[in-house]
Chain A
Amino acid sequence: MLQSFFNSWVTQNLITMAIIAVVMVAAVMMSRREYWRVAAREVCQKRAARFSFVILCIYAVVALLDSIGWRRPVVDASTGKTVLHASTGKPILDHGASALDYILKPISSKKETTYSAPLAERQFTTVIERAEDGSVARVHKALNYPCQHLLGTDIIGADVLALSLKSIRTGLIIGFLTTLIVIPFALFFGLCAGYYGGWADDIVQYLCTLISSIPSVLLIAALMLISGRGLPQLCMAVALTSWTGLCRLVRGEAIHLREMEYVQAARALGVSSWRIIVRHILPNLLHLVLINLVLKFSGLVLAEATLTYLGLGVSAETISWGTMINDARSELTRDPIIWWKLTSAFVFMLGLVLPANIFGDAVRDALDPRLRTQ
Chain B
Amino acid sequence: MHYIIRRVLYFIPTLFSVNLFVFMLFFVVNTPDHIAKQALGEKASTPEMVQRWKEARGYALPLFFNRDSKGMGCLRDTIFYQKSLKMLWGDFGVSDMTLQPIGPEILRRIPPSLCLTFSVFLASLFFNIVIAMLVSANRNSHYDFGVQLACVFLMSVSSLIYIITAQYLFGKVLHVVPVSGFLPGKEMFRFLVLPVAIGILGNLGSGVRFYRTLFLEEMGRDYVRTARAKGLPEGKVLFVHVLKNALIPILTNVPVQLLMLIMGSLLLENFFSIPGMGGYTISAINAQDFAVVRTMVFLGSFLYMVGLVLTDLSYCLVDPRVKLV
Contact = CB atoms under 8 A, between A and B. Distances in A.
Contact of B304 (A213, A306, A328, A337): A213
B168 A337 contact: yes
Contacts of B157: 346, 350, 353
Given A222-B26, A311-B285, A329-B164, A210 B156 contact: no
Interface in A287-309: 298, 302, 305-306, 309
A217 interface: yes
Pick from B17, B160, B301, B304 the residue with the most CB of A within 10 Å. Answer: B160
Q: For the side of the interface on B, what is the size category?
A: 35 or more
Contact of A222 (B18, B294, B308): B294
Contact of B293 (A206, A210, A221): A221
A219 B285 CA distance: 12
Contacts of B164: 325, 328-329, 332, 342
Contact of A215 (B25, B160, B260): B260
Which DSSP category, helix, strand, loop or mixed, fits chain B's interface?
helix
A310 B266 contact: yes
Which DSSP category, helix, strand, loop or mixed, fits chain A's interface?
helix
Interface string A336-360: 0100001000100110011011100
Contacts of B293: 218, 221-222, 225
B263 A215 contact: yes
A222 B301 contact: no
Contacts of B156: 298, 302, 350, 353-354, 356-357
B178 interface: no
A214 B285 contact: no
B146 to A, nearest CB: 14
B297 A222 contact: yes
B286 interface: yes
Given A213-B14, A226-B30, A306 B158 contact: yes
A361 interface: yes
A225 B96 CA distance: 14
B286 A311 contact: yes
Interface string A54-93: 0000000000000000000000000000000000000000
Contacts of A356: 156
Nearest to A349: B158
A214 B267 contact: no
B152 A361 contact: yes
Nearest to B179: A333
A57 B141 CA distance: 32
Contacts of B308: 213
B300 A214 contact: yes
A209 interface: yes
B245 interface: no
Nearest to A304: B158
A213 B305 contact: yes
A117 interface: no
A174 B172 CA distance: 34
B124 interface: no
Interface in B223-247: none
A354 B150 CA distance: 11
B89 interface: no
B1 interface: no
A226 B29 contact: yes
B270 interface: yes
A312 interface: yes
Interface of A: 206, 209-210, 213-215, 217-219, 221-223, 225-226, 298, 302, 305-306, 309-312, 321, 325, 328-329, 332-333, 337, 342, 346, 349-350, 353-354, 356-358, 361, 374
12 contacts: A210-B18, A213-B18, A213-B305, A214-B297, A221-B281, A302-B158, A309-B267, A311-B285, A321-B158, A342-B165, A346-B157, A350-B157
Q: Can you list the 5 inter-chain pairs with the closest CB atoms, starting with the nearest?
A: A215-B300, A354-B156, A353-B156, A213-B301, A214-B301
